[in-house]
Structure 1
Amino acid sequence: MKGLYWQQTLSAEETNFVFLEKDNLAVLKDNHVKVQVKACALRWIDTKLLSEIKMEKEFLPVGREIAGVVLEIGEKVSFFQPHDEVVGILPLDSEESGLCEVIVIHEHYLVHKPEKVSWPKAVGTIRDGVRAYTALHYLSHVSPEKTVLIMDGASPFGTIAIQLAQHRGAKVISTVYSLEDKEYLERLMPSLARIIDESHGKYDLTESCLEETGGLGVDIILDAGVRLYSKENETTSQQLLPHKHDIIMLLSVGGHWVTTEENLQLDPPDIRCLFLKGATVSFLNEEVWNLSNLKQGKYLCILEDIMEKLSSGVFRPNLDEPIPLYEAKVAMEMVQKNQARKKQVVQL
């Protein structure tokens, strides 16, 4: 079986994606299922995380979000039958690439795909759905009447997060970094409380949010990266990110800040401000569900609910047109360099 892998090189900046032919398919164990892959979503590979958990390899498999049809089941499989349509996320320690015609996977990483949901939409939504649920449900407990600020709302993740927050009855404010993104959100979600276009520096984030909340601040902030300090040689994308002080000042009393910044550093004045507000900071790492089996049942419930909301139209993902397998290498290079604005999905 041929699959796509990232060949590790001495330079971390190099991206060398190659198709490798595997000699044999993994043995079908008691609780595993054999799946014919129909679609696979591409996502940035966090090599630093893999290194920290001692999972460095010469060849890293590409594509963990997969959807397909069950071909064969192990003797103790209880959730699925042959011909079932399924979707799921391969574990971090998977040896197999999702960009493979047939793979073997444990049944506890899969859920049923609704019939009326297309293969690309299923794989293009499932991971961002997990991230959104982790951030807004488990870390910040979004509820009706709360105000939520979602940074970069036109990104694939931001789009799903906005839709989940609105579905839970929250008032949503979002930032965008281009006129095209603003127009996209206005078409997709006209009920947003406010869209703040930061591309030209015309709007002050703090002033706009405090005006929208009557000076009370925002209950939940979900960032897309922050500036820890100002430096002279900042790139344009770094300059558009909010400063950590601005985010803390925007928080309401008892507010929650959910950050994607893994190297966040807070100074004593920042911590003092958080203490006075009784506010909290949480780190968004959706991989925690796969790093521990303690809450496997909750994880599967999340996956099932994501598919249900996708089927009912609550979730409308920001997807690019599906691409064929022979274009996967080029598309993955764009994804790894953060040059792909929409979710990239390969249809097999």
Structure 2
Amino acid sequence: MKGLYCRAAGSDAEPKFVIQETSLPEVLGSHQVRVQVKACGLSPLDLKVLKSHTVYPVSAVVSLLCLSVFPAVGPKVSFFHPEDEVVGKKTFIYLRINTSLTIVCVCVFCFPVQKPEKLSSVCVAAALRDGLCAYTALHTHARMAAGQTVLVLDGASCFGLMCIQLASYHGVKVLTTSHSPQKHTFLEQLRPSVARVIQVYNGSSDLLPLVLEETGGLGVDIVIDSGVRLQEDKEPEETKLLPHKHDIISVLGVGGHWVTSQQELQLDPPDCRLLHLKSASVSFLNPEVWTASSAQQGRYLHILKDIVEKMSAGVLRPQPEEAVPLYEATVAMETVQRHQKKKAVVQL
């Protein structure tokens, strides 16, 4: 069996991705399953988290969202049968403790759910992570309810589009921002799912007045971002279209929820005081945290099942993604890891 491995060095050097052969046990355990992967979604690895929980040097298999077929199952596996098609989150981690004595620790997490027949493997592999992020942000963190108003920043992104569709399905009023004229045109075509599209690519800072105008001066109940600016100046070029943290806090209404993807978010005392006056809250979006506690696994499987069912019913309609063959997986993963591309799909 071939696997896509990440070799993370102890220094700040960029990780290397390689395809290696590995062997599987011939005899399955009572609760084990053997899967044949058909398509995989590649997303960036958080090497800081990986390094903080391991000892160098580290060799880790890339975390995958994949669609599989069960060629064989153990005798005590009751939820699935041979030849069932499933979709799920798979994480493999191989640790080499030191360079003299090679001690391998294998941690395997597999959370499969049944795949509807009408969904293609590439479509599910490309969209499952974004659907999981949207579900976690809106349901788990923000506790959205019908009649509320949500501001989705960069709504034309894959993650933003999932948030818009999920919120609109539950009767939430959606405001969003566009980062280019092409994205603005695309988002305007989503009406009436989107109540208003706010331009942020023309150099103006009209986010706050336009949001307050749309909400009658009350502010929004939920803000979902894809990154924020922490300073007014000396920001990289790629973050110029992102909103400033103070603008996000300002558009929040009383009792609002801000769900952020910014890992290094720093709030100054004036920002904290404004959040306190509004009795608002900040949540950090980390979709990988579902596998950190065994107590959450049942809920996690329910979320995955609900996502694929909504995709099958047409409630969630992800943007199409072109798949690459396995021999291009290393190049595709390096591109994703450098954030030159949000994600990639490998078809086997």
Q: What is the TM-score with the length of structure 2 in the denominator? A: 0.90
Does residue 326 in structure 1 map to residue 320 in structure 2? Answer: no
> Does the 8 Å contact 2:30/2:77 carry over to 1?
yes
Question: CA contact under 8 A between 2:92 and 2:107: conserved in structure 1?
Answer: no
More off after superposition, 126-135 vs 247-256:
126-135
Mapped contact 2:93–2:108 kept (Cα < 8 A): no
d(CA) in 2 for partners of 1:309 and 1:189?
20
Residue 149 (structure 1) aligned to one of 151, 154, 172: 151
Aligned-pair CA distance for 1:315: 0.8
Letter in structure 2 aligned against 1:246 = D
When residues 43 and 203 of structure 1 are mapped into structure 2, their CA distance, relative to the original with a 3 A threshold, is same
Q: Unaligned 5+ residue runs, structure 1?
A: 96-103
Change (3 A) 1:280 1:62: same
Q: Distance in 1 between matches of 2:255 and 2:133?
A: 22
2:194 alignment counterpart: 192
Tell me, yes or no, if the aligned pair for 1:196 and 1:203 is still in contact at 8 Å.
Answer: no
Distance in 1 of aligned mates of 2:24 and 2:298 = 31
Residue 238 (structure 1) aligned with residue 239 (structure 2): yes
Query: Contact 1:91/1:290 (CA < 8 Å) preserved in 2?
Result: no
Superposed, which structure 2 residues align to 1:207-246 within 5 Å? 207-232=209-234, 234-246=235-247
Question: Counterparts of 1:253 and 1:113 in 2: how far apart (Å)?
Answer: 40
The alpha carbon displacement at 1:135 in A equals 0.8
Contact 1:197–1:203, Cα closer than 8 Å, also in 2: no
Aligned pairs (5 A) from 1:71-220: 71-91=71-91, 93=93, 109-188=111-190, 191-202=193-204, 204-220=206-222
Where 1:89 maps in the other structure, the secondary structure is strand
Aligned-partner Cα distance in 2 for 1:26–1:189: 54
Number of residue pairs matched by the alignment: 338
Gap regions ≥5 residues in structure 2: 96-105
Aligned to 2:101: none
Alignment of 1:265-284 (within 5 A): 265-284=266-285
Give the strand-richer structure, 1 or 2.
2
Deviations 1:277-336 (A, max 9, x none): 111111111122100011211111101100100000011112321221122122112211
Matched, 1:345 2:345: yes
Q: Report the Cα offset of residue 224 of structure 1.
A: 0.9
Residues 1:255 and 1:83: Cα distance change in structure 2 (over 3 Å)? same
Aligned to 2:5: 5
Identify the residue that residue 297 of structure 1 maps to in structure 2. Answer: 298
SS of 1:91 mapped into structure 2: strand
Q: Indicate yes or no: 2:249 matched with 1:248.
A: yes
1:260: Cα distance to partner?
A: 1.1
Q: 1:178 offset after TM fit, Å?
A: 1.5
Task: Give 3-state SS (helix, strand or coil) of 1:294's partner.
Answer: helix
Maintained 8 Å contact 2:61/2:93: no
For the residues of structure 2 that align with 1:55 and 1:84, how far apart are their CA atoms? 38
**C-alpha separation in 2, matches of 1:26 and 1:259:** 44
What's the CA shift string for 1:11-32, capped at 9, x where partnerless?
5352422111114458632222
Q: Is the 8 A contact 1:33 1:107 kept in 2?
A: no
Distance 1:105 1:188, change over 3 A: farther
Quote the sequence identity (%): 50
Q: Which moved more, 1:292-301 or 1:258-267?
A: 258-267
Distance change >3 Å, CA 183–CA 15, structure 1 → 2: farther
Amino acid aligned to 2:310: K
Q: Which residue of 2 aligns with 1:99?
A: none
Q: Distance in 1 between matches of 2:277 and 2:18?
A: 53
Deviations 1:200-251 (A, max 9, x none): 224521122111111110100011111222333x222222111111111110
Q: Which moved more, 1:49-58 or 1:310-319?
A: 49-58
**Alpha-carbon deviations, 1:163-217, whole Å to 9, x = none?**
1111111011111212222223233555311112212224521122111111110
* CA RMSD across the alignment: 2.2
CA contact (8 A) 2:147 2:172 kept: yes
* Distance in 1 (alpha carbons) for counterparts of 2:51 and 2:264: 16
The aligned counterpart of 1:100 is none
Answer yes or no: is the 8 Å Cα contact 1:32–1:105 preserved in 2.
no
Deviates more, 1:125-134 or 1:184-193: 184-193
Structure 1 residues 222 and 13: CA distance shift in structure 2, 3 A: farther
Quickly say closer, same or farther: Cα 1:238–1:108, change in 2 above 3 A: closer
Distance 1:327 1:237, change over 3 A: same
- Structure-2 change in CA distance of 1:267 and 1:25 (3 Å): same
Report if aligned partners of 1:2, 1:19 keep a CA contact under 8 Å in 2: yes
Between the aligned partners of 2:272 and 2:217, the Cα distance in structure 1 is 21
Q: Quote the offset at 1:44 in angstroms.
A: 0.6
Conserved 8 A contact 1:55-1:93: no
